[in-house]
Structure 1
Amino acid sequence: MLRRVMLLATAACLLSSGCTSDSTDHATIQVDHVTALADQPVRLAVSGLHPHAGVTLSAQAPDRDGKTWRAEATFTADDHGAIDLDRAGPTGGSYQGVDGMGLFWSMNPPDGDPDLQAYAPPAEDGRPVEHVEIQVLQKGKTLADVRLTRQWLAAGVTTKTLTLAADKVSGVYVAPPRDAPNRPAVLVFGGSEGGLGVKPVAALLASHGYPVLAIAYFHAPGLPQDLRDIPLEYFATAARWLARQPGVDPAHLIALSASRGTEAALLLSDHFPDLVHGAVLYAPTDVVVGSFPEIGGAAWTLGGRELQYDARIPVDHVSGPVLAIAGSDDQLWPSMTAAPRIALELDDAHNRFPHRALIYPQAGHAVSGAPYLPMGTKEVHPVTRRVISLGGTRAGNEAALRQGWTAVLALLESLAR
């Protein structure tokens, strides 16, 4: 049953002017989770309206730069004066169709091109937290509102910074509560953006009970500034550190990455099968690509030797599940063909572990991570500072994020049984 969160607003109705048929005395917002993880959907409903009354529902949230993002959608109440966002589609606004979380991912920034921007939550005590205010509006008046809190770190989840000097790895370890049983663990790292932008993914996975080590491997202090001659042994060092941690099941350690990082994830799975037991590959490639941003060199080395550019990534020794996720409209590279090729190559290698490719229509390159956050279809690349087109539509990318994230959590849960 929905937990009721009610704020009452009374609209004045003068006898001399009368009341129109769509006026309302009050409205009640019902929400099942006022505080929830950022990847958890919430159910929103409105009651107390006049039958068939028209209202606007809005959502707004400040980002880490202090800008307030906002979405609006207009709805018509049913015969009982109610609106259930899981069942009712808007008649207009920032999203279309029935979507209970439409107000969240369709928020736009107050300035600039929304397709060039992605929402980044502010931090409280060093932890990312999104505060979303939902309002019911009619004729410029607020009938009801409620403030929701969206968290990336659940209670009891802890973080530890790893340094090159002390640990030979640069990253952050995110651990579930100490009383949790041994669980599958995830080594997560990013793509051609470099740095440590994958921390939100690590936080959410740990909040679901999985120990996670998020690492940077280039374009970060103390590390190479270019994706060039990066030793696969660096990732293996990180995986060994992760495997030794309390609460980690070392027999189920998965590498998770996106874009350029999928090369390293798949290479690790094949060259270090006793250490890394499968991979989650977002917008992947099935071949080794060269250095970045300057071309002409090797991106990866193994045993001090450069890995050949444009060579097929082997999968003969992969010792765990592989999940490849791509969008059909990836405009950066052909991940939509690489993902199924990886699955077919695992078939040809008679790999006995689950492996599959998921290709989502109207989705582009930005299919990695959790859903329900506003995300554009273009970006200014953090390394080159050039505008790149990622492809897809905002709605298509959101659908891919939801289904892909669900598949990732299901894979990890299957390993925990």
Structure 2
Amino acid sequence: MPVPFSQVSDVDRHDAFPTTPSGGGVLLFAGSSGRIEQERADLLAAHGIRVRAIRWFGGAGQRAVPHEVPLELFIDELDSLRAECDHVSIFGTSFGAEAALLTATLRPVHAVVAASPSSVAWGGVQDGRWSSHWTLDGRALPWVPFDEEWMPRHDPPEYLSLYETSLHRDTAATEAATIPVERIAAPVILTAGGDDRVWPSAEFAAAIVKRRAGHGLQTELFSAPGAGHRLLLPGESVATGGMSMRRGGDEESDRALGNRVWPPVLDALR
């Protein structure tokens, strides 16, 4: 059974305050690295945005890995930030983009930025038991099971083919796990690298755009063929840490994509 919902502790939160507030607030979080996006939070704050960056697994009282993480964790932090700002948005990367999109289907937001997103919910394993990354009201959300016969062909591994084959193995499971992005009334900004070696973020992003377009909803997709899984916004350091894997791209391409998306991101979040 999922663990009871617990709030984010002070040690797992970084609050960044702008000198000249724009009125916009952002809840910010990373993906499988598990880090607090402090540098990105401070960068956004320098441009007038109030930011709360959180750790959502591996912290005090939290799930050890991305496995049955309660979406209430994000909802609670978003609602808390809302009390301080004229409007609030949400910005997540990779598994964090998965959470950002899901959370935005449950709470109204001003905008969503999803970097290297997924169009479906995935699963994780803890103590030998597989389940969804996410729970809501104590129940695991539908998720796409992995291809059990898949084996890595590189060292360090790249997981792109695992996600590609798993996504198309069971149509019913994939449809059940599809994030209902048509429920997000706010503008959505997506970034996806064409050389993402972690998962097919370009395919995921295209599916999100198509689903939302069918409902007349605004979505902007920024992609680049040479960029990988990790987006680099202007002035950011090259990220380190996280699981050992091939992420694709290179610093020049990742920065170029970050430079392109930066102005519309600021406009959306302020």
Alignment TM-score, normalising by the size of structure 1: 0.52
Unaligned runs of 5+ in 2: 1-5, 145-176
Which residue in the other structure is 1:290 paired with? 123
Structure 1 position 404, deviation (Å): 2.2
Alignment of 1:163-182 (within 5 A): 164=7, 170-177=12-19, 180=20
Residue 238 of structure 2 contacts residue 251 of structure 2 at CA under 8 Å; is this kept in 1?
Answer: yes
Aligned-partner residue type, residue 347 of structure 1: A
Alignment of 1:333-352 (within 5 A): 333-351=199-217
Unaligned runs of 5+ in 1: 1-162
Which residue in the other structure is 1:406 paired with? 263
Structure 1 position 174, deviation (Å): 1.2
Aligned-partner residue type, residue 223 of structure 2: I
Structure 1 position 372, deviation (Å): 4.4
SS in 1 for 2:88: strand
- Alignment equivalent of 2:97, drawn from 245, 259, 262: 262
Structure 1 position 392, deviation (Å): 1.5
Structure 1 position 278, deviation (Å): 3.0
SS in 1 for 2:216: coil
Residue 8 of structure 2 contacts residue 60 of structure 2 at CA under 8 Å; is this kept in 1?
Answer: no
- Alignment equivalent of 2:233, drawn from 364, 370, 384: 370
Residue 121 of structure 2 contacts residue 143 of structure 2 at CA under 8 Å; is this kept in 1?
Answer: yes
Aligned-partner residue type, residue 357 of structure 1: L
SS in 2 for 1:297: strand
Alignment of 1:375-390 (within 5 A): 375=238, 382=242, 384=243, 387-390=244-247
Residue 195 of structure 1 contacts residue 219 of structure 1 at CA under 8 Å; is this kept in 2?
Answer: no
Residue 255 of structure 1 contacts residue 279 of structure 1 at CA under 8 Å; is this kept in 2?
Answer: yes
- Alignment equivalent of 1:321, drawn from 172, 180, 187: 187
Structure 1 position 181, deviation (Å): 5.3
Structure 1 position 366, deviation (Å): 1.1
Which structure carries more relative contact order (alpha carbon 8 Å, separation 6+)?
2
Measured on the aligned residues, the alpha-carbon RMSD in Å equals: 2.4
Of Structure 1 and Structure 2, the greater helix share is in 2
Which consecutive aligned stretches of 4+ in structure 1 deviate over 3 angstroms post-superposition?
A: 163-167, 292-295, 372-376
SS in 2 for 1:333: coil
Q: Distance in 1 between matches of 2:100 and 2:120?
A: 12
Aligned-partner residue type, residue 389 of structure 1: R
Aligned-partner residue type, residue 221 of structure 1: A
The higher radius of gyration belongs to 1
Q: Is 1:244 aligned with 2:83?
A: yes
Of Structure 1 and Structure 2, the greater strand share is in 1
SS in 2 for 1:324: strand
Which residue in the other structure is 2:148 paired with? none
Aligned identity (percent) is: 32
Aligned-partner residue type, residue 228 of structure 1: H
Residue 222 of structure 2 contacts residue 260 of structure 2 at CA under 8 Å; is this kept in 1?
Answer: no
Structure 1 position 271, deviation (Å): 1.6
Residue 192 of structure 1 contacts residue 292 of structure 1 at CA under 8 Å; is this kept in 2?
Answer: no
Deviations 1:7-65 (A, max 9, x none): xxxxxxxxxxxxxxxxxxxxxxxxxxxxxxxxxxxxxxxxxxxxxxxxxxxxxxxxxxx
Aligned length: 232
